Amino acid sequence: SAAEGLRSTLDERLVFLEKKIASVVHEHSQELHSLKASHDSCASDMAGLKTSQRHCTLPQRVEYLECLVGDSADRHAKDLKELKEAHDKFAAAHCRHAEDLQS
């Protein structure tokens, strides 16, 4: 009868929906498992970075850069002083030579 046909159709549709929902739940479960594994890996990497001796804090990095700049500035100041002294010595020698040529 028509009622049995409708019931059969409803049962088939319900079975189809249950299978579809089970499939989606399975897919989401796999994706969630993959996401958790990725998160655990990232968390492990981050923990390794925090305990690593090679990882410096910002103040340590700034101090290092200040040292480099300070050493470089000191070296440049010394080189500039030596260059100025050499220039003054050359200028004095040049003046003496010019005076010798005029006399």
Supply the pLDDT for residue 4: 73
Q: How much is the pTM?
A: 0.40
- The 10s digit of each residue's pLDDT in 22-64 is 999 999 999 999 999 999 999 888 887 777 656 688 898 888 8
Interior angle at CA 88, CA 87 and CA 94, nearest 5: 85
In this structure, the chain runs to a length of 103
State how far the Cα of 94 lies from the Cα of 16, in Å rounded to an integer.
104
- The 10s digit of each residue's pLDDT in 61-87 is 888 888 888 888 888 889 999 999 999
User: With the CA atoms of 83, 86, 91 and 97 taken in that order, what torsion angle do they form, in degrees rounded to the nearest 10?
Assistant: -150
